[in-house]
A and B are shown apart, each in its own frame.
Chain A
Amino acid sequence: MEALIALAIGVLTGCGVYLVLRAHTFPVVLGLTLLSYAVNLFLFATGRLVIGQPPVIGSAAAALGQLADPLPQALVLTAIVIGFAMTAFVIMLSLRARAELGNDHVDGRQEGGTQS
């Protein structure tokens, strides 16, 4: 199971990095979204993988043994929400850039010098 999570984190990171390096704003935003999934999963994974033991005291599962680590979960929970705010801010920035510059290239100019 650990190998699957490591594989998922690796694929998300790799694809995120590739998309972040693209020349147009929308793929870059998608890449940032993938990277934030990867980071969230990684942070979550630092608490190690535990099945069926949510950190709720007094639940039926709690009597069985070691509960999942609540601290990475609390950190990731806010990270997910902040990640949404960041995505929203970046996409608005790209909309503003498109309105002001007339194109959606990350550097504000099309390659080859033609302004669309």
Chain B
Amino acid sequence: MRFGWLLPVAVTVAGVFAVAYSLRFIHDVFFNGEPIDLPRTPHEPPRWMKVPVEILVVLCLLVGIFPAQTVEPLLAVAATAVLQGPLPEHDLALWHGVSPALWMSVIALAGGVLLYLGRRPLYALHDRLEGRLDARAIFERVLENGVLRWARRFTAAFDTGSLQRQAALFIVSALVLGGSGLLLAPAPLTGTRPLLPVDGVSLMAALALVFATLAATALHRQRLTALILIGAVGLVVALVFVKFSAPDLALTQLSVEVVTIVLLLLALYFLPQTTPAETSESRRWRDGAMALVAGSGAAALAWAVLTRPVDSIAAWFLANSVTGGGGRNVVNVILVDFRGFDTFGEITVLAIAALGIFALLEHLHLPGPTRDFHDPLRRAWDADLHPVIMATFARLLLPLALLVSAFILLRGHNLPGGGFIAGLITAIALIMQYLANGVAWTHARLPAQTHPLIAGGLLLALLTGAASWFFGRPFLTSAFGHVNLPWIGQWIGEFELASAMAFDLGVYCVVVGATLLILINLGLAHHASHPGDAAATEVKV
């Protein structure tokens, strides 16, 4: 602490000036005779204009003189929240005895009085220096010539308004930072964790994933082909989750894959079907090299992580899931209970994304392909937009799919499932009706109140969390118990009821609402740009 004296000295000097200008205010306003050089003579304000000021003055005096009795409890709460632990020893009072702080105050007061007494020579000095030494001019010159000019130069060099360039810069910086960390680290790449043996099926799945990914990249200019290949990649990723003990993730990945592909297919309808070749071959080589480095780096990092033993906090979650959260599916208990606040934030993000998409799609007129559009192979559109077998089966499947999603939602606390997965399954079941029967038909039968659904889900999750306040617990503390209903109990037996289930129901509503909002509105954009098609559909059904 060689410079430990610097801060107290700076505070005392600042105090000297504060005392001097306060003295100037008080002296000039109240004791220095009539005001001079003013355009109009001020008068006393009416009584009630002074009352707010007086309230503030009284508060200042009270807080200043009796801090322990006024602000101490409030400060203690705030400080405890920041420190996340017991507060250090402290004592708020006006008089602490003779201490260094008192001497600092004495110096500041005395210095301020002296400074104010010597104000006339200082004013004269100011008059002489005026125009030659202007702090504002210096400040503006430094800002303009130094900071702003360099900022402009920097922006002009790096921000050309081209996303490709921005993305390339971003990836190069990530590679440089990550690569230097990987190469400069003294640790060996391979850790000590014993490896799992490879079996034939896994090898085939991994090869399928690698092949589909490479093919999608190589064929990315044929957009539909690339999209189908990406779908295959997503399915293999779901299989990876199945293999490595993550049934919840596999279910989520599988259902998200379906909605993603439907979404991208719908979007592809409005976009050109092929990508024109890029002019510059050097750029393709440059991007290929960057991709190679990024891929090798990610693979090396994953290998280094996977081969090292892990010291995880998992044991705590596994040990406390049943006693603390009342559920046996630890992943779901983490989502709705231990880390419920995170999940609440995530469904909020989902809701905001859905509303943002709704705003983006409003009044959007997209030039989709017309009826006489032909693909490169000269194939015409299928005249049968909604094949009757598919439409009938989709309608039959709807109640079954909804039943499955309710089952997945209810069992989620104890077995793989939960609000996210159930919401996606419900959304897929409803989207299937739109796909098989057409937007107009389904829209007439299913009043898709997605906005209230999203809002209701968020509100339910929030209220479930807030309910724990009434029991003196922190936000989102969950409660659970075993319920035996009076008459029905003899048939269904005792069952468990956890407040986390209400939270999960909120998650479910937000997921259903957001997914439907996104997909239906994109479908309706098509409806708006092709009213003829919709009319044909109505007649047929």
Given A71-B313, A81-B420, A111-B278, the answer on whether A33 and B230 have CB atoms closer than 8 Å is: yes
Distance in angstroms between the alpha carbons of A15 and B511 in the assembled complex = 30
Q: Is the CB of B216 within 8 A of A30?
A: yes
A49–chain B nearest beta-carbon distance, Å: 5
B181–chain A nearest beta-carbon distance, Å: 15
Contacts of A82 in B (CB 8 A): 346, 349-350
Q: Is the CB of B330 within 8 A of A56?
A: yes
Contacts of A106 in B (CB 8 A): 162-164
Chain A residue total in the interface (Cβ 8 A): 85
Contacts of B214 in A (CB 8 A): 11, 15
**Which of B221, B245, B259 makes the CB contact (< 8 A) with A68?**
B245
The reply to whether the CB of B49 lies closer than 8 angstroms to some CB of chain A is: no
Contacts of A74 in B (CB 8 A): 331, 334-335, 339
Given A33-B260, A44-B241, A46-B305, the answer on whether A51 and B331 have CB atoms closer than 8 Å is: no
B525–chain A nearest beta-carbon distance, Å: 8
Annotate B182-201 by CB proximity to A: 1 below 8 A, 0 otherwise: 00000000000101111000
The reply to whether the CB of B468 lies closer than 8 angstroms to some CB of chain A is: no
Contacts of A14 in B (CB 8 A): 291-292, 294-296, 298
Q: Is the CB of B310 within 8 A of A69?
A: yes
The reply to whether the CB of B249 lies closer than 8 angstroms to some CB of chain A is: yes
Annotate B275-304 by CB proximity to A: 1 below 8 A, 0 otherwise: 110110000000110111011111111110
Within 8 A of A (CB), among B364-415: 364-367, 414-415
A-B contact pairs, 10 of them (CB 8 A): A2-B196, A11-B210, A24-B275, A27-B223, A56-B330, A57-B318, A82-B346, A89-B356, A96-B361, A99-B365
Q: Is the CB of A18 within 8 A of B302?
A: no
Interface residues of B (CB under 8 A from A): 161-164, 167-168, 171, 193, 195-198, 202-203, 206, 209-210, 213-214, 216-217, 220-221, 223, 226-227, 230, 233-234, 237, 240-241, 243-249, 252-253, 256, 259-260, 263-264, 267-268, 270-272, 275-276, 278-279, 287-288, 290-292, 294-303, 305-307, 310, 312-314, 317-318, 321-322, 328-331, 334-335, 339, 342-343, 346, 349-350, 353-354, 356-357, 360-361, 364-367, 414-416, 420, 424, 511, 514-515, 518, 522, 525
Q: Is the CB of B249 within 8 A of A73?
A: yes
The reply to whether the CB of A78 lies closer than 8 angstroms to some CB of chain B is: yes
Distance in angstroms between the alpha carbons of A29 and B416 in the assembled complex = 30
Q: Is the CB of A30 within 8 A of B226?
A: yes
Q: Is the CB of A9 within 8 A of B245?
A: no
Q: Is the CB of B260 within 8 A of A81?
A: no
Given A50-B245, A94-B271, the answer on whether A56 and B234 have CB atoms closer than 8 Å is: no
Q: Is the CB of B230 within 8 A of A78?
A: no
A1–chain B nearest beta-carbon distance, Å: 4
Q: Is the CB of B295 within 8 A of A5?
A: no
Q: Is the CB of A73 within 8 A of B246?
A: yes
Q: Is the CB of B366 within 8 A of A1?
A: no
Interface residues of A (CB under 8 A from B): 1-15, 17-30, 33-34, 37-38, 40-42, 44-59, 67-71, 73-74, 76-78, 80-89, 91-96, 98-99, 104, 106-107, 111-112
Given A2-B306, A30-B216, A92-B357, the answer on whether A22 and B314 have CB atoms closer than 8 Å is: no
Given A17-B171, A53-B245, A92-B522, the answer on whether A6 and B353 have CB atoms closer than 8 Å is: no
Q: Is the CB of B270 within 8 A of A88?
A: no
Residue on A nearest B245 in the bound complex, by CB:
A68
A26–chain B nearest beta-carbon distance, Å: 5
Q: Is the CB of A68 within 8 A of B296?
A: no
Distance in angstroms between the alpha carbons of A96 and B366 in the assembled complex = 8
A112–chain B nearest beta-carbon distance, Å: 7
A63–chain B nearest beta-carbon distance, Å: 13
Residue on A nearest B286 in the bound complex, by CB:
A21
B230–chain A nearest beta-carbon distance, Å: 6
Question: Chain A's interface: helix, strand, loop or mixed, by majority?
Answer: helix
Distance in angstroms between the alpha carbons of A68 and B241 in the assembled complex = 11
Given A92-B522, A94-B271, the answer on whether A4 and B302 have CB atoms closer than 8 Å is: no
Q: Is the CB of A21 within 8 A of B357?
A: no
Contacts of B310 in A (CB 8 A): 46-48, 69
Contacts of B291 in A (CB 8 A): 14-15, 17-18, 21
Q: Is the CB of B256 within 8 A of A80?
A: yes
Contacts of A13 in B (CB 8 A): 294-295, 297-299
Given A74-B331, A92-B357, the answer on whether A80 and B303 have CB atoms closer than 8 Å is: no
Contacts of A6 in B (CB 8 A): 299-300, 302-303, 306
Given A15-B214, A19-B217, A24-B275, the answer on whether A37 and B223 have CB atoms closer than 8 Å is: no
Q: Is the CB of B335 within 8 A of A83?
A: no
Residue on A nearest B215 in the bound complex, by CB:
A15
B192–chain A nearest beta-carbon distance, Å: 12
Distance in angstroms between the alpha carbons of A37 and B360 in the assembled complex = 26
Contacts of A93 in B (CB 8 A): 360
Contacts of B163 in A (CB 8 A): 28, 106-107
Residue on A nearest B338 in the bound complex, by CB:
A74
Q: Is the CB of B318 within 8 A of A70?
A: yes
**Which of A2, A5, A18, A44 makes the CB contact (< 8 A) with B288?**
A18
Given A69-B312, A92-B522, A94-B271, the answer on whether A78 and B335 have CB atoms closer than 8 Å is: yes
Q: Is the CB of B195 within 8 A of A1?
A: yes
Distance in angstroms between the alpha carbons of A70 and B397 in the assembled complex = 33
Distance in angstroms between the alpha carbons of A84 and B193 in the assembled complex = 34
